[in-house]
Chain A
Amino acid sequence: MPSSASAAVTLPTDEQILIVREFDAPRELVYRAWTTPELVMRWWSGRRGRMKIAEIDLRVGGAWRYLMQADGGFEVGFHGEFREIVPNERLVYTEIYEGMPDGDSPPALNTATFVEHDGRTTLELLTEVESREIRDMIVESGMEGGVQEQMELLEELARSLR
């Protein structure tokens, strides 16, 4: 079901990014994949690298930290703290990007909600930051990754044509 499986990104306000995506699985499983370190290790880096660390202390006030080695060789780290946990339904947690030249980025607040319908789960991930500048920076980080991914796809294509 490729059309419904694409992620939709919108910018509801100047300080928000909303990602909506449907998964062909019950929400318990999506929630489990989202909150279990061994499983996060398998998906969070997507096609952009490989995971080195996924630590999750799943309780209010508990910390999480992810470290990814990007394909370019550099490491990208994120960490934060859980603010609200409703198992299988809703997670609220802070997220700090560790790679800023002048120290950590200001924390973003993420709210992930999992809604099941007919055995399928809609994930809504709302990211809220302090300013439009920070939001734009986050979106641009995706731009960079997007360009990288396009290059990789091109490379794959070129190889297959050889």
Chain B
Amino acid sequence: MIRAMARAATTADAFNAVAEPRRRQILDVLSGGERPVNDLVRELGLAQPQVSKHLRVLREVGAVDVRDEGRQRLYRLNGRALKPIHDWVKAYERSWSGRFEALDDVLDDLKEQAKGDGGNAE
């Protein structure tokens, strides 16, 4: 359990890294494909040092990859690294799903009762 929680905390950090509005914007732009830094600077309307700072945070959690091509640095999304973040929310979803399945059973009983009480339920 402790190991599971430590992993959750790490994932939460990654989630926080990609939750920052500017960084989310960067990810949005990169979802259209690989882009050089200059493109990101232009699209975000931020100074290059700021963009570089955001890119560094995204690289630290593995959300983006970078490679050099000639004189350009190209950034792209790393879908596999984003998966744990997706899973993090999914686990919360699962715990609610269990609760809602029990609620489905209660509703089935209520519908049966409503029928018995004179056919109020369609």
Residues of A within 8 A of B (CB): 5-11, 14, 17, 19, 21, 23-26, 29-30, 32-33, 39, 42-48, 119, 132, 136, 138-147, 149
Q: Is B44 an interface residue (CB 8 A)?
A: no
Contact A119 B122 (CB under 8 A): yes
Contacts of A145 on B, CB cut-off 8 Å? 91, 94-95
Interface residues of B in 50-81 (CB under 8 A from A): none
Contact B92 A6 (CB under 8 A): no
* Residue of B with least CB distance to A41: B106
Least CB distance from A141 to B in Å reads 8
Interface residues on chain B, number (Cβ under 8 Å): 36
Q: Are A14 and B105 in contact (CB under 8 A)?
A: no
User: Which of B9, B95, B96, B97 has most A Cβ within 10 Å?
Assistant: B95
B-to-A contact residues, CB < 8 Å: 1, 4-5, 8-9, 11-12, 15-16, 19, 88-108, 110-111, 114, 121-122
> Are A33 and B110 touching (Cβ within 8 A)?
yes
A21-B100, A26-B121 given; A140·B89 CB < 8 A: no
- Evaluate contact between A29 and B100: CB separation under 8 angstroms: no
Contact present for A25 and B110 (CB under 8 Å): yes
Query: Which chain B residues lie closer than 8 Å to A25 at the CB level?
Result: 107-108, 110-111
Known: A136-B12, A140-B9. A33 touches B106 (CB 8 A): yes
A141 to chain B: which residues have CB within 8 Å? Answer: 92
